[in-house]
Amino acid sequence: MTISNVAALQIGSHPDGKQKTLETILSYESEIKNAGVNLVVMPEALLGGYPKGETFGTYMGYRLPEGREAFQRYFANAIDVPGVETAELEGLAQRTGAHLVVGVIERSGSSLFCSALFFSPEEGLVAKHRKLMPTGSERLIWGQGDGSTLPVIDTPLGKIGAAICWENHMPLLRTAMYAKGIEVWCAPTVDERENWQISMRHIAHEGRCFLISACQFQPAPRDLGISLPHWDDDRLLIQGNSVIIDPMGEVIAGPLKNGPGLLVAKIDLADLVKARYDFDVVGHYSRPDVFTLIVDERAKTSVKFQQ
Protein backbone atom coordinates (compact mmCIF):
# COMPACT_ATOMS: atom_id res chain seq x y z
CA MET A 1 0.00 0.00 0.00
CA THR A 2 1.17 3.58 -0.59
CA ILE A 3 -1.59 5.37 1.36
CA SER A 4 -1.96 4.72 5.10
CA ASN A 5 -3.45 6.25 8.21
CA VAL A 6 -0.92 6.91 10.96
CA ALA A 7 -1.41 8.23 14.47
CA ALA A 8 0.25 9.57 17.59
CA LEU A 9 -1.43 8.49 20.83
CA GLN A 10 -0.96 11.34 23.29
CA ILE A 11 -1.50 10.03 26.80
CA GLY A 12 0.55 9.97 29.99
CA SER A 13 1.83 7.32 32.36
CA HIS A 14 -0.77 6.73 35.07
CA PRO A 15 0.37 7.78 38.57
CA ASP A 16 -0.89 4.43 39.92
CA GLY A 17 1.53 2.44 37.80
CA LYS A 18 2.02 0.37 34.68
CA GLN A 19 -1.18 -1.68 34.92
CA LYS A 20 -3.33 1.45 34.93
CA THR A 21 -1.24 2.87 32.09
CA LEU A 22 -1.78 -0.31 30.10
CA GLU A 23 -5.52 -0.03 30.73
CA THR A 24 -5.44 3.52 29.37
CA ILE A 25 -3.65 2.35 26.22
CA LEU A 26 -6.15 -0.47 25.69
CA SER A 27 -9.07 1.92 26.16
CA TYR A 28 -8.19 3.46 22.77
CA GLU A 29 -8.66 0.15 20.93
CA SER A 30 -12.02 1.04 19.40
CA GLU A 31 -10.89 4.51 18.37
CA ILE A 32 -7.77 3.10 16.69
CA LYS A 33 -9.82 0.47 14.88
CA ASN A 34 -12.62 2.82 13.85
CA ALA A 35 -10.12 5.34 12.46
CA GLY A 36 -8.55 2.63 10.31
CA VAL A 37 -5.12 3.43 11.68
CA ASN A 38 -2.22 1.36 10.31
CA LEU A 39 0.48 2.66 12.68
CA VAL A 40 0.23 4.10 16.20
CA VAL A 41 3.23 5.76 17.85
CA MET A 42 3.12 6.18 21.63
CA PRO A 43 5.24 8.45 23.87
CA GLU A 44 8.61 7.93 25.49
CA ALA A 45 8.63 5.95 28.76
CA LEU A 46 4.86 5.50 28.63
CA LEU A 47 4.93 2.07 30.29
CA GLY A 48 7.24 2.55 33.26
CA GLY A 49 6.93 6.31 33.51
CA TYR A 50 9.03 9.42 33.08
CA PRO A 51 9.76 10.61 36.65
CA LYS A 52 9.95 14.32 35.86
CA GLY A 53 11.28 16.29 38.83
CA GLU A 54 12.51 13.22 40.77
CA THR A 55 16.07 13.59 42.10
CA PHE A 56 16.50 9.98 43.24
CA GLY A 57 18.31 11.39 46.27
CA THR A 58 21.45 12.14 44.30
CA TYR A 59 23.99 14.88 44.90
CA MET A 60 27.49 15.16 43.51
CA GLY A 61 29.61 12.69 45.46
CA TYR A 62 26.87 11.02 47.50
CA ARG A 63 23.43 9.43 47.32
CA LEU A 64 20.73 9.32 49.98
CA PRO A 65 18.95 6.15 51.17
CA GLU A 66 15.58 7.56 50.09
CA GLY A 67 16.96 7.79 46.56
CA ARG A 68 17.66 4.07 46.56
CA GLU A 69 14.09 3.47 47.74
CA ALA A 70 12.79 5.68 44.92
CA PHE A 71 14.83 3.75 42.37
CA GLN A 72 13.54 0.44 43.73
CA ARG A 73 9.96 1.65 43.23
CA TYR A 74 10.76 2.89 39.74
CA PHE A 75 12.44 -0.40 38.87
CA ALA A 76 9.36 -2.32 40.04
CA ASN A 77 7.19 -0.25 37.68
CA ALA A 78 9.38 -1.04 34.64
CA ILE A 79 8.53 -3.95 32.34
CA ASP A 80 10.20 -7.12 31.14
CA VAL A 81 10.69 -7.54 27.39
CA PRO A 82 9.06 -9.85 26.52
CA GLY A 83 6.59 -10.03 29.37
CA VAL A 84 2.99 -9.63 30.48
CA GLU A 85 2.66 -6.10 29.12
CA THR A 86 4.18 -6.91 25.74
CA ALA A 87 1.72 -9.79 25.37
CA GLU A 88 -1.15 -7.35 25.93
CA LEU A 89 0.28 -4.98 23.33
CA GLU A 90 0.65 -7.84 20.87
CA GLY A 91 -3.05 -8.51 21.33
CA LEU A 92 -3.88 -4.85 20.72
CA ALA A 93 -1.89 -4.85 17.47
CA GLN A 94 -3.58 -8.04 16.32
CA ARG A 95 -7.12 -6.88 17.14
CA THR A 96 -6.74 -3.44 15.56
CA GLY A 97 -4.56 -4.46 12.62
CA ALA A 98 -2.20 -1.60 13.51
CA HIS A 99 1.56 -1.62 13.89
CA LEU A 100 2.60 -0.13 17.24
CA VAL A 101 5.70 1.73 18.39
CA VAL A 102 5.58 2.05 22.18
CA GLY A 103 7.91 3.84 24.59
CA VAL A 104 8.72 1.73 27.66
CA ILE A 105 11.15 1.45 30.53
CA GLU A 106 12.76 -1.95 30.05
CA ARG A 107 14.30 -4.07 32.80
CA SER A 108 17.48 -5.99 32.04
CA GLY A 109 19.13 -7.58 35.05
CA SER A 110 19.23 -4.77 37.59
CA SER A 111 19.54 -2.05 34.95
CA LEU A 112 16.90 -0.02 33.15
CA PHE A 113 16.75 1.13 29.55
CA CYS A 114 14.47 3.65 27.87
CA SER A 115 13.27 1.65 24.87
CA ALA A 116 10.88 1.74 21.94
CA LEU A 117 9.15 -1.54 21.12
CA PHE A 118 7.85 -2.43 17.66
CA PHE A 119 4.74 -4.59 17.28
CA SER A 120 3.27 -6.12 14.12
CA PRO A 121 -0.36 -7.31 13.83
CA GLU A 122 0.87 -10.60 12.37
CA GLU A 123 4.08 -11.27 14.31
CA GLY A 124 3.68 -9.46 17.62
CA LEU A 125 6.85 -8.02 19.15
CA VAL A 126 9.30 -7.80 16.26
CA ALA A 127 12.06 -5.43 17.41
CA LYS A 128 13.20 -2.92 20.00
CA HIS A 129 15.38 0.16 20.11
CA ARG A 130 17.22 1.18 23.25
CA LYS A 131 17.90 4.90 23.63
CA LEU A 132 21.57 5.46 22.85
CA MET A 133 22.12 8.52 25.01
CA PRO A 134 19.98 9.37 28.03
CA THR A 135 19.88 13.12 28.62
CA GLY A 136 21.14 14.89 31.73
CA SER A 137 20.02 13.23 34.96
CA GLU A 138 18.29 10.45 33.01
CA ARG A 139 21.77 8.87 33.07
CA LEU A 140 21.31 8.23 36.80
CA ILE A 141 18.59 5.67 36.10
CA TRP A 142 18.89 4.53 32.46
CA GLY A 143 21.68 2.64 30.74
CA GLN A 144 22.89 3.37 27.22
CA GLY A 145 21.77 1.32 24.26
CA ASP A 146 24.27 0.02 21.71
CA GLY A 147 24.32 -0.29 17.94
CA SER A 148 22.61 -3.67 17.97
CA THR A 149 19.17 -2.11 18.49
CA LEU A 150 18.84 0.34 15.60
CA PRO A 151 16.06 -1.36 13.66
CA VAL A 152 14.30 -0.11 10.58
CA ILE A 153 11.33 -2.43 10.05
CA ASP A 154 9.91 -3.21 6.63
CA THR A 155 6.11 -3.03 6.86
CA PRO A 156 3.23 -2.72 4.37
CA LEU A 157 3.02 0.99 5.23
CA GLY A 158 6.72 1.64 4.68
CA LYS A 159 10.01 1.26 6.49
CA ILE A 160 9.63 2.46 10.06
CA GLY A 161 12.25 3.23 12.70
CA ALA A 162 12.50 5.21 15.92
CA ALA A 163 14.69 7.64 17.79
CA ILE A 164 13.74 8.60 21.33
CA CYS A 165 13.57 12.21 22.51
CA TRP A 166 16.92 14.03 22.39
CA GLU A 167 18.81 11.32 20.53
CA ASN A 168 16.89 12.80 17.60
CA HIS A 169 19.40 15.64 17.88
CA MET A 170 22.34 13.29 17.10
CA PRO A 171 23.31 13.93 13.44
CA LEU A 172 25.21 10.65 13.04
CA LEU A 173 22.28 8.61 14.33
CA ARG A 174 20.01 10.36 11.88
CA THR A 175 22.41 9.64 9.04
CA ALA A 176 22.50 5.96 9.98
CA MET A 177 18.71 5.78 9.98
CA TYR A 178 18.51 7.51 6.61
CA ALA A 179 21.00 5.01 5.21
CA LYS A 180 18.79 2.17 6.45
CA GLY A 181 16.04 3.54 4.24
CA ILE A 182 13.67 4.90 6.87
CA GLU A 183 10.41 6.21 5.42
CA VAL A 184 8.30 6.78 8.54
CA TRP A 185 10.31 8.26 11.40
CA CYS A 186 8.85 7.63 14.87
CA ALA A 187 9.87 9.97 17.68
CA PRO A 188 8.55 9.04 21.13
CA THR A 189 9.28 11.95 23.47
CA VAL A 190 8.41 13.93 26.58
CA ASP A 191 9.68 17.21 25.07
CA GLU A 192 6.74 19.59 24.70
CA ARG A 193 8.66 22.71 23.69
CA GLU A 194 8.54 24.80 20.53
CA ASN A 195 12.19 23.99 19.80
CA TRP A 196 11.19 20.32 19.58
CA GLN A 197 8.62 21.14 16.92
CA ILE A 198 11.35 22.90 14.94
CA SER A 199 13.64 19.87 15.25
CA MET A 200 10.90 17.49 14.13
CA ARG A 201 10.17 19.57 11.04
CA HIS A 202 13.88 19.74 10.28
CA ILE A 203 14.33 15.95 10.53
CA ALA A 204 11.36 15.25 8.27
CA HIS A 205 12.67 17.81 5.77
CA GLU A 206 16.28 16.58 6.03
CA GLY A 207 15.42 12.90 5.71
CA ARG A 208 12.57 13.49 3.28
CA CYS A 209 10.48 11.12 5.38
CA PHE A 210 7.19 11.21 7.23
CA LEU A 211 7.59 11.85 10.95
CA ILE A 212 5.32 11.05 13.89
CA SER A 213 6.23 12.58 17.25
CA ALA A 214 4.19 11.26 20.19
CA CYS A 215 4.56 13.13 23.47
CA GLN A 216 3.14 12.36 26.89
CA PHE A 217 0.45 14.53 28.43
CA GLN A 218 0.65 15.02 32.19
CA PRO A 219 -1.62 17.27 34.29
CA ALA A 220 -0.35 19.99 36.61
CA PRO A 221 1.31 18.90 39.87
CA ARG A 222 -1.65 20.21 41.88
CA ASP A 223 -3.98 17.92 39.92
CA LEU A 224 -1.65 14.99 40.56
CA GLY A 225 -1.46 15.75 44.28
CA ILE A 226 2.27 16.43 44.20
CA SER A 227 4.61 19.42 44.39
CA LEU A 228 7.87 19.84 42.51
CA PRO A 229 10.70 22.26 43.29
CA HIS A 230 10.99 25.18 40.85
CA TRP A 231 7.76 24.20 39.06
CA ASP A 232 4.44 26.08 39.28
CA ASP A 233 1.81 23.85 40.90
CA ASP A 234 -0.75 24.88 38.26
CA ARG A 235 1.49 24.51 35.21
CA LEU A 236 0.97 21.36 33.15
CA LEU A 237 3.77 18.92 33.82
CA ILE A 238 3.85 17.87 30.14
CA GLN A 239 1.40 19.58 27.77
CA GLY A 240 1.83 17.21 24.82
CA ASN A 241 2.24 18.79 21.37
CA SER A 242 2.29 15.50 19.47
CA VAL A 243 2.64 16.19 15.76
CA ILE A 244 2.72 14.49 12.33
CA ILE A 245 4.88 15.97 9.56
CA ASP A 246 5.28 15.30 5.84
CA PRO A 247 8.56 14.79 3.89
CA MET A 248 8.78 18.49 3.03
CA GLY A 249 8.72 19.42 6.71
CA GLU A 250 5.13 20.63 6.71
CA VAL A 251 2.84 19.83 9.64
CA ILE A 252 -0.13 17.73 8.51
CA ALA A 253 -1.67 17.06 11.93
CA GLY A 254 -1.30 18.76 15.29
CA PRO A 255 0.34 19.81 17.39
CA LEU A 256 -2.15 18.37 19.87
CA LYS A 257 -2.06 20.59 22.95
CA ASN A 258 -3.14 20.43 26.57
CA GLY A 259 -4.92 17.09 26.69
CA PRO A 260 -4.91 13.43 25.71
CA GLY A 261 -6.08 12.15 22.35
CA LEU A 262 -5.41 10.20 19.17
CA LEU A 263 -3.90 12.40 16.45
CA VAL A 264 -4.45 10.90 12.98
CA ALA A 265 -3.16 11.77 9.50
CA LYS A 266 -3.15 10.16 6.07
CA ILE A 267 0.24 9.62 4.42
CA ASP A 268 1.19 8.59 0.89
CA LEU A 269 4.58 6.95 0.31
CA ALA A 270 4.48 8.21 -3.27
CA ASP A 271 5.29 11.62 -1.79
CA LEU A 272 8.74 10.38 -0.74
CA VAL A 273 10.18 10.16 -4.25
CA LYS A 274 8.75 13.56 -5.14
CA ALA A 275 10.32 15.05 -2.01
CA ARG A 276 13.70 13.45 -2.73
CA TYR A 277 13.81 14.74 -6.30
CA ASP A 278 16.12 17.59 -5.29
CA PHE A 279 17.48 16.27 -1.97
CA ASP A 280 18.30 12.64 -1.18
CA VAL A 281 20.49 12.91 1.90
CA VAL A 282 22.19 9.50 1.51
CA GLY A 283 21.76 9.33 -2.27
CA HIS A 284 22.46 11.94 -4.91
CA TYR A 285 22.99 14.67 -2.28
CA SER A 286 25.69 12.75 -0.39
CA ARG A 287 29.48 12.89 -0.84
CA PRO A 288 30.88 9.44 0.02
CA ASP A 289 34.19 10.47 -1.54
CA VAL A 290 34.53 13.04 1.26
CA PHE A 291 32.56 11.70 4.24
CA THR A 292 32.31 8.18 5.68
CA LEU A 293 30.22 7.00 8.64
CA ILE A 294 30.93 3.64 10.29
CA VAL A 295 28.15 2.19 12.47
CA ASP A 296 29.08 -0.64 14.85
CA GLU A 297 25.96 -2.81 15.14
CA ARG A 298 27.53 -5.48 17.34
CA ALA A 299 25.90 -6.12 20.71
CA LYS A 300 28.20 -4.98 23.52
CA THR A 301 28.49 -7.07 26.68
CA SER A 302 30.71 -6.33 29.66
CA VAL A 303 31.86 -9.96 29.98
CA LYS A 304 32.67 -12.47 27.23
CA PHE A 305 33.16 -16.15 28.04
CA GLN A 306 35.33 -18.18 25.70
CA GLN A 307 36.09 -21.90 25.58
Per the CB < 8 A criterion, the answer to whether 128 and 152 are in contact is: no
How far apart are alpha carbons 170 and 206 in whole angstroms?
13
pLDDT of residue 167 exceeding 90? yes
131 annotated active-site: yes
DSSP state of 138: G
- Calculated CA dihedral for residues 31, 34, 40, 44, nearest 10 degrees: 0
Q: For residues 273 and 141, what is the distance between their CA atoms, to the nearest angstrom?
A: 41
pLDDT in tens, 91-131: 999 999 999 999 999 999 999 999 999 999 999 999 999 99
- pLDDT, one tens digit per residue, over 187-243 is 999 999 999 999 999 999 999 999 999 999 999 999 988 888 889 999 999 999 999
Catalytic: which of 85, 106, 128, 131? 131
The one catalytic residue among 18, 114, 159, 165:
165
Domains and their CATH numbers in the chain: 3-275 (3.60.110.10)
Cα distance between residue 269 and residue 6, in whole Å: 12
Quote the CA–CA distance of 186 and 237 in Å, as a whole number. 23
What is the Cα–Cα distance from 295 to 282, expressed in whole angstroms? 14
165 is catalytic: yes
H/E element holding 277? Answer: none
What is the pLDDT at residue 23?
Answer: 97
* 114 a catalytic residue: no
Q: What is the DSSP-derived secondary structure letter of residue 215?
A: E
Q: How confident is the model at residue 1 (pLDDT cuts 50, 70, 90)?
A: low
The pLDDT score that the predictor gives to residue 50 is: 96
- Cβ-count burial of 282 within 10 angstroms (0-12 exposed, 13-18 middle, 19+ buried)? middle
Question: Which run of H or E residues covers position 82?
Answer: none
What average pLDDT score do residues 151-168 get?
A: 97
Query: Is the previous residue joined to 65 through a cis bond, with omega within 30 degrees of 0?
Result: no
